[in-house]
């Protein structure tokens, strides 16, 4: 059988994610998979992610390769995927989500609280307005101030800022550190009560052309329906706020189990100013939605409530 061509970015994280999905595809479908490396604008640009638009920069080159039939399928970090799905491409699978939380990598193995109170204005590296807003709000609640410093670069580069003493800490997605085998660097996992992750954080998206029904069906073997429902609600919230992945929006849907059965979904959303002076945070709990459409409706409803509480004014420039 001919190998399926899996397009992947060249970064260590993308390669790790793609290798993991390739193994799963081979295990579940019996088809061999070969990796095809693609360079994206997000990988070569030195501009701050927020300035080049954030939404979609890592994704569009892989999608172009799909539509040009240079590859058969692609794996994206779901949080980097624009909320509008093009008709020509199918989101064939959302595999079971890894840890959705943000992780702190701090000097002297400090937690966020210890770091924030340890000295005046701890320097915390993150380029994400969402993380800035919530970390600054948390510091304010502790009666301290931190200095958030915009950084970019791969995981090694970011951790390097702490190693060389330039920063007191950096914040990264726990899932990414786990996928790279760097989870030992984590000194604190940030509770979603205090720092809501980005919509879709920790989840992957497996995409192929919509016209390839056989491949779409084969890849759907990797789909985790609970993860799909949760991230659908989170992304619908983001879309209804008309915000992009570089907006200061956090969203997290957790499904709670009653014994073996998953019965309830709680969706939380947050939007704030990067300085943390204002934060709108709302949540809703109800029965687990029975379909993606129902999940999306819950996300949109919560977004409407957030907008009614002033969320729009907190998002600054609308991304796309």
Figure out which of the listed residues 7, 38, 56, 80 binds ligand PBG, where binding follows CB under 6 A. 80
Figure out which of the listed residues 55, 77, 83, 187 binds ligand PBG, where binding follows CB under 6 A. 77
Q: Long-range CB contacts (< 8 A, 24+ apart) of 271-274?
A: 271/133, 271/241, 271/243, 271/247, 271/306, 271/311, 271/314, 271/315, 272/133, 272/134, 272/137, 272/248, 272/314, 273/133, 273/248, 273/314, 273/316, 274/129, 274/132, 274/133, 274/136, 274/148, 274/248
Select 133 or 175, whichever has its Cβ closest to ligand PBG: 175
Cβ count near 268 (within 10 Å): 21
Catalytic residue among 158, 182, 235, 268: 158
CA nearest neighbour of 36 among 2, 63, 64, 74 = 74
Q: Which span sits near ligand PBG by CB under 6 A: 19-27, 75-83, 104-112, 206-214?
A: 75-83
- Please indicate whether residue 96 is annotated as part of the active site: no
Q: Total binding residues for ligand PBG by CB under 6 A?
A: 9
Select 59 or 218, whichever has its Cβ closest to ligand PBG: 59
Site string for ligand PBG, 199-238 (x = CB under 6 A): --xx------------------------------------
Residues 143-202 touching ligand PBG, rule: CB under 6 A, are 172-173, 175-176, 201-202
- Please indicate whether residue 114 is annotated as part of the active site: no
| Residues near ligand PBG (CB under 6 A) | 77, 79-80, 172-173, 175-176, 201-202
Q: Which residues are catalytic?
A: 79-80, 130-131, 152, 158, 245
């Amino acid at each position: 059988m001919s190998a399926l061509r899996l397009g992947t970015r060249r970064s260590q994280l993308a390669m790790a994610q793609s290798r993991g999905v390739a193994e799963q595809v081979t295990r579940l479908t019996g088809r061999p998979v070969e990796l095809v490396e693609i360079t994206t604008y997000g990988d070569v640009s030195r501009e701050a992610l927020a300035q080049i638009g954030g939404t979609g920069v890592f994704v569009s080159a892989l999608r172009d390769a799909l539509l040009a039939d240079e590859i058969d399928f692609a794996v994206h970090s779901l949080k980097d995927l624009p909320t509008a799905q093009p008709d020509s491409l199918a989101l064939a699978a959302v595999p079971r989500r890894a840890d959705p939380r943000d992780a702190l990598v701090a000097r002297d193995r400090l937690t966020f609280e210890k770091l924030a109170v340890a000295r005046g204005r701890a320097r915390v590296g993150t380029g994400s307005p969402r993380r800035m807003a919530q970390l600054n709000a948390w510091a304010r609640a502790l009666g301290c101030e931190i200095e958030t410093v915009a950084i970019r670069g791969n995981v090694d580069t970011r951790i390097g800022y702490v190693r060389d003493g330039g920063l007191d800490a950096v914040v990264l997605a726990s899932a990414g550190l786990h996928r790279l085998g760097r989870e030992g660097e984590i000194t604190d996992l940030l509770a979603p009560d205090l720092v809501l992750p980005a919509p879709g954080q920790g989840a992957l998206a497996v995409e192929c052309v919509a016209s390839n029904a056989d491949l779409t069906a084969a890849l759907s073997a990797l789909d985790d329906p609970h993860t799909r429902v949760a991230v659908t609600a989170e992304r619908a919230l983001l879309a209804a706020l008309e915000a992009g992945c570089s907006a200061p929006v956090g969203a997290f849907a957790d499904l709670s189990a009653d014994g073996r059965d998953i019965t309830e979904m709680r969706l939380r959303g947050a939007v704030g100013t990067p300085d943390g002076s204002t934060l709108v945070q709302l949540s809703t709990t109800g029965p687990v939605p029975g379909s993606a459409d129902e999940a999306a409706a819950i996300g949109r409803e919560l977004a409407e409530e957030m907008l009614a509480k002033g969320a729009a004014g907190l998002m600054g420039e609308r991304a796309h």
